[in-house]
């Protein structure tokens, strides 16, 4: 299905809203001694839910270069939030595992962000609007899993990159 002008306008508004909300959520963590960045929180969450992973696997999941992720993992390791271990399957491979300190840092990160967001929702939106946002959250999760194939040959929409 080809995106029309209304789809492009919706995409722009959604990206702007998500970006602004993400910035605000990040700002809520500035008081922490060592706040998690978006990427470090995502790394910890992936390790918590998926188990030990190699840097290359984490980089693929995050959509970043392994070299970029290495710096993030080294910082998390310095903070005691992750550790390296030999793979149980391949002793030549080194996996990254989340530590109890990493799980706790992630728990605090989520709790703090959720507390601010829940308060903001309650103060500023009607029950019907909050219901719409719950649905929007589910729809955004679905969108995150979509691998778009561009119709009409090799020409994606202007500004879009094929995956």
In eight-state DSSP terms, residue 37 is P
Band (30; pLDDT cuts 50, 70, 90): low
What distance in Å separates the CA atoms of residue 161 and residue 141, rounded to the nearest whole number?
A: 20
CA–CA separation, 76 and 70 (whole Å)? 10
The model's pLDDT over 102-149, given as tens digits with 9 standing for 90+, comes to 999 999 888 888 889 999 999 999 999 999 999 999 999 888 888 765
Helix (H) or strand (E) holding 85: strand 82-86
Cα 113 from Cα 133, distance rounded (Å): 16
Where along the chain do its domains lie? 34-144
Query: Considering the entire predicted model, what is its pTM?
Result: 0.68
Question: Which helix (H) or strand (E) segment is 70 a member of?
Answer: helix 66-78
Topology annotation, domain 34-144: Arc Repressor Mutant, subunit A (1.10.10)
Q: What is the rounded distance in angstroms from the CA atom of residue 83 to the CA atom of residue 73?
A: 9
């Amino acid at each position: 299905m080809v995106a029309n002008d209304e789809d492009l306008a919706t995409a722009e508004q959604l990206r702007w809203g998500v970006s602004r909300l993400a910035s605000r959520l990040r700002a809520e963590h500035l008081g922490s001694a060592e706040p998690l960045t978006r990427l470090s929180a995502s790394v910890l969450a992936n390790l918590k839910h998926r188990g030990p992973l190699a840097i290359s696997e984490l980089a693929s999941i995050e959509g970043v270069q392994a070299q970029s992720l290495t710096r993030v993992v080294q910082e998390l390791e310095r903070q005691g939030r992750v550790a390296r271990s030999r793979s149980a399957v391949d002793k030549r491979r080194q996996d990254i595992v989340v530590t109890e300190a990493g799980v706790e840092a992630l728990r605090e990160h989520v709790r703090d962000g959720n507390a601010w967001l829940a308060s903001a929702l309650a103060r500023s939106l009607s029950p019907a609007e909050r219901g719409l946002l719950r649905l929007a959250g589910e729809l955004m999760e679905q969108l995150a899993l979509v691998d778009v194939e561009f119709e009409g040959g090799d020409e994606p929409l202007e500004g879009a990159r094929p995956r």
